[in-house]
Chains A and B, each alone.
Chain A
């Protein structure tokens, strides 16, 4: 009797699941990106207008995204938003499809400063969605000096009071920049020298963390930090007195972008979605939520005034000769970076 009952229950469950699959909406869009990349109103607005239901699938790291996309052979997902360097790999693996920009009415709104970059030099596959730079933020009340560049972080007065993001390429790159090298150098000797330089920074490091580093700056746990743009925005909104520094050695920046996987099940819906979020008024809403630099030039003016300064590209940024994207480097160089990074982290704790 029990067996029959459980069988019946299982059957019922299967049926209800099956009915869930065929939603009443006119279509479906599978969006694959990190958590919290869109305000709910934007997703709802899209569904309301087009009748297409948005199925929001998350990944935690870019690498997870590529692994899943590979397993799905470029199917399963309609729109993916990820970081520049991984998109270069996605394109190299043949997992992204070429965009028909004629289908994107608002394509012209994209800020050209973020186009034509290493990961998609001819803009054949991607539409940017937000950009970030690694900046130094410090509390002038806690730090007794003026910080103008990365090199200042080595100052002995900052002992045990600097927080940094947990990204080897960014932090090692900081030392590379101080030594006058490129973020993307493949010269192992230069990477090693950067490692030695970093060793001298260790006594100043109080904290290495990727998530919500701004909290520690706001609570006074640290006096200065190297962080991501979204964190900078959140920190400034909470405490406008904080100082933001675009390091004079040259900033490193990254772009997040949309692409459509090669075997996307609903490519038409994908175009509709990308075009929808390119609309200046929708874009403005997205960037206010996201906290990264707006990559839509027509949306800049629509961003709420108190945030506009934080979300649009600073002018000094455009003509910074040292400005560089952090791109992919040979495995050999990456392994050297890993060694340098692990040694540095241990040195910070010692």
Chain B
């Protein structure tokens, strides 16, 4: 509500009021509640006591809990890296398709979103499980002779993560590659640039905003997608998200869960800030 949006009609801001109230109440409210909670002490059995403590934050630095942050970061970097490697070329070449094929490819990418992501994960279980589709395929092709143990492994988790996040990268890159004027690339080639140089100096630079927004759209959620690790990894990869859930629902240590959430929030904020700095510098 800057002065700019307060022209002659003085009552217009009223129409926006519900939005502000909603945001304050349901976004800022829980956040404040969580910050406060993270400094309180747990009761012996149930609930919290109004005693200020930094213990919950200190607890995060226990090696076993610190490790969950490391695991989350590792998985996030690995999956984001793979998503870039697959999604960037996909989105880039998608922009070069004819209008008709663009529509078709977009549709194919969208169809899976019509069902719940949980259901799609169960689909992966059917593919990966012992004697499942993938196993039978490999055996039919005589590549393997007996069922492999594919499900509940780290690679299965990575596949699930990449699968869930890939469309966000593709669409981000696609939307900025579509705006790219390919005659600029041709001009660079005409002026003697090698294909690689033309790509690096023209195409990549001009699609960087898409790549960065794709990075934000994949990296940030990948820090929190713990249910993929739970379902496809058999709960053996403990991420911050699963730890928060465990502390909240099973261990009844709400203040610690709140402190973990705040730490995760700060960590993602740092990465968001970094990526904004980087994307500003590059433009």
Q: How far is the CA of A272 from the CA of B265 in the complex (A)?
A: 49
Cβ–Cβ contact A207 & B152, under 8 A: yes
Cβ–Cβ contact B250 & A168, under 8 A: yes
Cβ–Cβ contact B149 & A338, under 8 A: no
Cβ–Cβ contact A209 & B250, under 8 A: no
Cβ–Cβ contact A339 & B152, under 8 A: no
Q: How far is the CA of A343 from the CA of B44 in the complex (A)?
A: 23
Task: Report B31-81 residues with CB < 8 Å from chain A CB.
Answer: 42-47, 62, 64-65, 67-68, 71
Closest partner residue, chain A, to B243 (CB atom):
A342
B238 located at the interface, meaning its Cβ lies under 8 Å from any Cβ of chain A in the complex: yes
Question: A207-B235, A220-B130, A342-B64 are known contacts. Are A349 and B249 too (CB-CB below 8 A)?
Answer: no
* Majority DSSP secondary structure for residues of B touching A: loop
B236 located at the interface, meaning its Cβ lies under 8 Å from any Cβ of chain A in the complex: yes
Instruction: Give B153 Cβ to nearest chain A Cβ, in Å.
Output: 9
B91 located at the interface, meaning its Cβ lies under 8 Å from any Cβ of chain A in the complex: no
A160 located at the interface, meaning its Cβ lies under 8 Å from any Cβ of chain B in the complex: yes
On chain A, the number of residues with a Cβ less than 8 Å from chain B's Cβ atoms is 35
Chain A positions within 8 Å of B130 at CB level: 219-221
Question: A220-B131, A334-B251 are known contacts. Are A345 and B67 too (CB-CB below 8 A)?
Answer: no
Q: How far is the CA of A93 from the CA of B71 in the complex (A)?
A: 39
Chain B positions within 8 Å of A89 at CB level: 45-46
- Binary per-residue interface labels of chain A (303-333) against chain B in the complex, 1 for a CB within 8 Å, 0 otherwise: 0000000000000000000000000101100
Instruction: Give B219 Cβ to nearest chain A Cβ, in Å.
Output: 22
Cβ–Cβ contact B238 & A349, under 8 A: yes
Cβ–Cβ contact A207 & B234, under 8 A: yes
Cβ–Cβ contact A345 & B152, under 8 A: no
Question: A61-B250, A334-B251, A346-B71 are known contacts. Are A208 and B234 too (CB-CB below 8 A)?
Answer: yes
Cβ–Cβ contact A208 & B235, under 8 A: yes
Chain B positions within 8 Å of A274 at CB level: none
- B68 contact from A160, A219, A334, A342, Cβ within 8 A: A342
Cβ–Cβ contact A208 & B236, under 8 A: yes
Cβ–Cβ contact A346 & B64, under 8 A: yes
Chain B positions within 8 Å of A61 at CB level: 249-250
Closest partner residue, chain B, to A349 (CB atom):
B236
Cβ–Cβ contact A349 & B45, under 8 A: no
Which residues from chain B sit less than 8 Å from chain A, CB to CB? 42-47, 62, 64-65, 67-68, 71, 129-131, 147, 149, 151-152, 154, 230, 233-238, 243, 246-253
Given A89-B45, A338-B251, A345-B238, output 19 extra A-B contacts at Cβ < 8 Å: A63-B249, A64-B249, A89-B46, A93-B46, A166-B235, A168-B251, A206-B149, A206-B234, A209-B230, A219-B131, A220-B130, A221-B130, A328-B45, A335-B253, A338-B246, A338-B253, A339-B62, A342-B65, A346-B236
List the 6 closest pairs (A to B, CB-CB), nearest first: A349-B236, A208-B235, A207-B234, A348-B236, A343-B64, A349-B237
